Structure 1
Amino acid sequence: MDTPAKKIVRILWGFLITMTTVVSIGIIERGGFFWESKILLPMSLGFLSGVLLLILIAGGSRSHGTWPTDNWFSREVLFEMQSRLEDERDEANMQSVGSKWARMEMEHLESKHSEE
């Protein structure tokens, strides 16, 4: 199974090809004058998707967590992501149990000292 980042890269490739086609057709129909026309929006979207695509491709060989887009599009394999999330959940549960135990002990000591 692919990582979410690989899926986004495939989507961005398709979007970039579509935007390039739309801009090309618009330029051909307008005779090269595209700054005054409605071609500027698809051209901007294509440029932004190309930049994001280059950023995602550049971070492909690095380890997870070292690239700025890892918070948005995870590059972890599904199995690794599931095991990491389960470990984080277990750690949070243990911290919760520890804080509940400390709270219960504090209440017990307060009640014991208030009786004295």
Structure 2
Amino acid sequence: MKQPRDSSPSDAPLGLMDTPAARLERVLAGVMIPVLFLTALALAEGRIEIFGCTGTACATASQRALALPAIALLCLLGLVILRFSRDRSHGGAPLDRWFSREQEPIMRERLEEERFEAADEGLSSKWAELERDSLEKRFGEEE
């Protein structure tokens, strides 16, 4: 009888692992919906006035309530940017620097390659430093 194998995230098929950008889309949508609801409530209660805001009517409205539509607009802007950048290659979208759209295996491969390149650069600089030290010692002994 076979024993069940522990499944790890690396064993999951490509479709099951979300990219950081896909997770961000869900978070932005999850924040934007309640904030839009709160904005609608603030509009209904008169805490935010869009039209007909004159003099004292604007002064009675809470200025902190204006943060709600601002947050909703920022979330909407982030969602729009992420949606329009879906079909671009990695690195071609404005938010790629912070939120990768690559699948995990592809991202892992790219990061491993970058790590090896960085290790090679560090090794070559250490080798050059060692060579310089040995040359300095050799020329110091000859004098």
Q: Common fold, TM-score beyond 0.5?
A: yes
Could you tell me how far 1:32 is from its partner in structure 2? 7.3
| 2:19 and 2:102 in contact (8 A); partners too | yes
Cα RMSD for the two superposed structures: 1.8
Amino acid at match of 1:95: E
Q: Secondary structure at the match of 1:27?
A: helix
Deviations 1:69-114 (A, max 9, x none): 1011111111111111111111111111111111111111111111
In structure 1, runs of 5+ residues without a counterpart are none
Partner of 1:109: 135
Higher helix share: 1
**What is the number of equivalent residue pairs in this alignment?**
116
Q: Which has the higher contact order (CA 8 A, sep 6+)?
A: 1
Q: Secondary structure at the match of 2:101?
A: coil
Identity value in percent: 37
Where do residues 61-76 of structure 1 align in structure 2 (5 Å cutoff)? 61-76=87-102
Where do residues 1-116 of structure 1 align in structure 2 (5 Å cutoff)? 1-30=17-46, 33=49, 36=58, 37-38=61-62, 39-116=65-142
Amino acid at match of 2:105: F
Moved over 4 A (4+): none
> TM-score, structure 2 length as denominator?
0.74
Could you tell me how far 1:29 is from its partner in structure 2? 2.4
Distance change (3 Å), C-alpha of 1:109 and 1:53 = same
> TM-score, structure 1 length as denominator?
0.90
Q: Secondary structure at the match of 2:74?
A: helix
